Amino acid sequence: MRKKMKKNRGQIILHAIFLLMVLVYIIPFVLVISVSLTDENALITDGYRLIPSVFSTNAYKMIFRDSTQLINSYRTTIIFTVVSTALAVLVMGVMAYPMSRPNYRHNRFVSLFVLFTMLFSAGMVPSYLLIVKYLHWDDTMWVYIVPGLVSAYNLIVIRTNYKNLPNEMIEAAKIDGAGELRICFRIVMPLSKPVLASIGFLFLVGKWNNWQTSMLYIRKPELYSLQYMLQRILQEVQYMKQLADMGQLESGAVFPTESFRYAMAVVAAGPVLCVFPFFQKYFAKGMTLGGVKG
């Protein structure tokens, strides 16, 4: 009886710890939504609260005031994020296969070449000249998709996961007459689905949050990424607030700069939060599989 009571007490403590950990992650997210739906004057007087003291949707109205531009930015961001993520997983998944095979003749050279790209970079100016002057990818969707398609770190993680697969299974497939490409696509990559899904999700989040590409290479408003478009709206709101503070606009005008920042975070992060549950079952397993040995 005592052992059972001690076990139940331990389970209660464990559940309480996990509940506190869940609250640590949930409360900031609820606070972000609450602040985005709070009136700007109420934020100044009452501060941040988990429940809006004065409900207001002015921040979202300012974001969606130009719905056409917002829809274009969403469409552009979704297209290049999905396409570049799929291509990145495919390219890195295929490239990591020969690097993981001990009988690959150029394995050492390719590994050193990949490692070199992690240590040294040409810089922004050569990249800009290559993309604009020679490839002519400025103001095109290609500038979002191709640059940064292969990450050396992610490639090493995938290669390490491939090395952990039993070599006997690959040798048996070769005896049955399977070629290298068939082994890669039909055996190795399906068995490595957790690590590929984890790498794909991390790559997707990085692409979704990309705003520097639009700032450097895009001049057509219809090709602005979502993050860059929201940043431009925030700059406009801050500028209008400065004019209002200097008395150059009508008196009493209040611009929701603080609530606008949180509304912008909700609009930008919403789609990624909807996608995450589909990758959750692979995420923890994939990261541990890729880091067992070098």
Instruction: Tell me whether residue 112 is in a domain.
Output: yes
| Long-range contacts of 230-238, Cβ-Cβ distance < 8 Å, separation of 24 or more | 230/63, 230/73, 230/264, 230/267, 230/268, 233/62, 233/63, 233/260, 233/264, 234/260, 234/261, 234/264, 237/62
Which residue(s) pair with 38 in the sheet? 55
- 139 and 282 both lie in a single domain: yes
Average pLDDT over residues 42-65: 82
- 72 and 125 both lie in a single domain: yes
Instruction: Tell me which residue has tokens 């200097």.
Output: 246
Nearest to 50 by CA among 23, 22, 25, 27: 27
**Number of domains making up the chain:** 2
Q: Identify the pLDDT of residue 57.
A: 85
151 is written with which tokens? 């990450």
Instruction: Tell me whether residue 61 is in a domain.
Output: no
Q: Which domain holds residue 16?
A: 2-36
- What is the percentage of the chain residues whose pLDDT exceeds 90? 17
Higher pLDDT, 233 or 86: 86
Q: Identify the pLDDT of residue 35.
A: 87
Q: Identify the pLDDT of residue 222.
A: 87
- 190 and 249 both lie in a single domain: yes
Instruction: Tell me whether residue 56 is in a domain.
Output: no
Q: Identify the pLDDT of residue 284.
A: 59
- 169 and 268 both lie in a single domain: yes
Judge whether 224 and 72 are in contact, CB under 8 Å: yes
| Residue 40 predicted with pLDDT over 70 | yes
- 78 and 160 both lie in a single domain: yes
| Residue 107 predicted with pLDDT over 50 | yes
| Residue 236 predicted with pLDDT over 90 | no
CB atoms within 10 A of CB 91: 13
269 is written with which tokens? 């992060």
Residue 2's pLDDT band (boundaries 50, 70, 90)?
low
Residue-wise pLDDT tens digits, 212-232: 999 999 998 889 998 898 888
- 111 and 17 both lie in a single domain: no
Q: Identify the pLDDT of residue 291.
A: 45
- 117 and 249 both lie in a single domain: yes
Higher pLDDT, 217 or 251: 217
CATH number at residue 110: 1.10.3720.10
Residue 91's pLDDT band (boundaries 50, 70, 90)?
very high
Higher pLDDT, 166 or 279: 166
Q: Identify the pLDDT of residue 293.
A: 44
- 97 and 195 both lie in a single domain: yes
**Separation of alpha carbons 194 and 222, rounded Å:** 36
Kindly report which listed range (57-61, 100-104, 199-203, 239-243) carries the lowest average pLDDT score.
239-243
pTM across the whole model:
0.80
Higher pLDDT, 61 or 88: 88
Instruction: Tell me whether residue 89 is in a domain.
Output: yes
Helices (H), the chain: 2-36, 40-46, 58-63, 67-100, 107-119, 124-129, 142-145, 152-163, 167-175, 180-183, 189-191, 193-208, 212-217, 226-245, 257-289
Nearest to 209 by CA among 77, 83, 68, 101: 77
| Residue 135 predicted with pLDDT over 80 | yes
- 8 and 114 both lie in a single domain: no
- 17 and 93 both lie in a single domain: no
The per-residue pLDDT of the chain, averaged, comes to 83
Q: Identify the pLDDT of residue 290.
A: 45
- 32 and 71 both lie in a single domain: no
Residue-wise pLDDT tens digits, 8-38: 777 888 888 888 888 888 888 888 889 888 8
Q: Identify the pLDDT of residue 7.
A: 62
Instruction: Tell me whether residue 50 is in a domain.
Output: no
Average pLDDT over residues 134-157: 91
- What is the percentage of the chain residues whose pLDDT exceeds 70? 88
- 24 and 91 both lie in a single domain: no
CB neighbour burial string for 228-265, b if at least 16 within 10 angstroms, e if fewer: bbbbbbbeebeebbeebeeeeeeeeeebbbbbbbbbbb
